[in-house]
Amino acid sequence: MINTTLVQKSFTDFLSPKFLKYSILPFIVSFAIFAYLYMDFGADAISSFKQSMENGVVPFLDPEEYPILTYILTIGIFKWLFSLFFYLVGAVAVILLSVLISVIVIGFFTPMIVKGIRQKHYPDFIMKNDNFSAIHTLWHFAKTFVIFILLFLIMIPFLFIPAVNFIAINIPFYYLFHNFLVLDVGSSINSQEEFKTVTKKYKLKLRSTTLTLFGFSLIPLVGMLFQVLFVIILAHQFFTRTTELRTA
C-alpha cells in the first residue's frame, strides 16, 4: 500500500493552482476523443446492437452456424444477460481506454511536474537524467507497447469466462499503466543506470503503488482527472528512494 504521509503530501501539492492546471488538459483531450468516437461509432454501434437483438440476431454470432446458441441468447433472461454483458464490457473498455489516453497525454507534462516537486520539496536533489535521451525513452515505450499487445492477445480467450474476464482484461492494461508511469517519472529524475537500480531494488514498493493507483483509475473519471496526482505520488517515491540509494 502507499504510505499515508506521502499521499497527504502529494494531495496537498495536487491541490495547488500550479498542478491543478495540468489536470485540465488530459481530461479535455480524453473527453474530446471519446465524444468524437461516440458520435462517429459508439451511437451507431449501440443502435445496431439493439436493433439486432430485437430482430433475433446476435451480433458477432453466425445464426446458421450456431442456431441453438443464437436462439437461447435472444429469449428472456439470456437476452437480458447478454445485453448486460455487452454494455459492461463496453463500459470497462471505455474506462481503460480513457486511462491509457490520460497517461499518454500527461506524459508531456511529467518533466514540468517533476521539476515543480523537486523545487518545492527536494531543492538539493541533483537530477542525473542527462543520458536518458528521447530516443531511449521512445524505445522503452515502444517495447512496452508491443508486450502490452501480446499480453492482450493472450488474454482474449479468457474474456469469455465470467469473473475471470474482469481480471484478464486488466492484466495487460495494468502492465502498460505501470511501465508507462514508472518510465515517464523515472526518466525525468534518474540516469538509465540509476533508474534500473531503483526500479529493481524497490520493485515491490513501486508495484504496490502503481497497482493501487490503477485500481483508483478504474473508477469513472478518476483516471482522467487525477493523473497529475498519480505522477506526483510516484515522483515523491522516486525522489525518496533515489536519495536513500545515494546515501546508503
> b or e along 197-220 (b: 16 or more beta carbons within 10 Å of the residue's beta carbon)?
ebbeebeeebeebbeebbeebbee
pLDDT per residue as tens digits for the range 55-102: 555 555 555 555 555 555 565 555 555 566 666 666 667 777 777 777
pLDDT band for position 123 (cuts 50, 70, 90): very high
Residue 116: name the closest of 210, 21, 182 by CA.
21
Q: Tell me how many degrees the CA angle 230-231-235 measures, rounded to the nearest 5.
A: 120
Residue with cell 491541490: 15
Check if the beta carbon of residue 237 is closer than 8 Å to that of residue 205. yes
Check if the beta carbon of residue 235 is closer than 8 Å to that of residue 129. no
Cell digits for 25?
Answer: 488538459
DSSP secondary structure letter of residue 190: S
Query: Own/partner pairs for 54-62, CB < 8 Å, 24+ apart?
Result: 58/82, 59/86
What is the pLDDT, as a whole number, of residue 6?
85
pLDDT band for position 179 (cuts 50, 70, 90): very high
Q: What is the mean pLDDT of residues 144-172?
A: 85
244 to 41, 119, 135, 161, 238: CA distances (angstroms): 50, 19, 29, 45, 10
Percentage with pLDDT > 90 across the chain: 32
pLDDT per residue as tens digits for the range 102-119: 777 788 888 899 999 999
Q: What is the mean pLDDT of residues 186-205?
A: 92
- Transcribe 120-173 into DSSP letters: HH-TTPPP--TT--HHHHHHHHHHHHHHHHHHHHHHGGGGGSTTHHHHHHHHHH
- Percentage helix, strand, coil for the chain under 3-state DSSP, each rounded to 5: 80, 0, 20
Rounded distance between C-alpha atoms, residue 175 and residue 208, angstroms: 13
pLDDT band for position 41 (cuts 50, 70, 90): low
Average pLDDT over all residues of the chain: 79
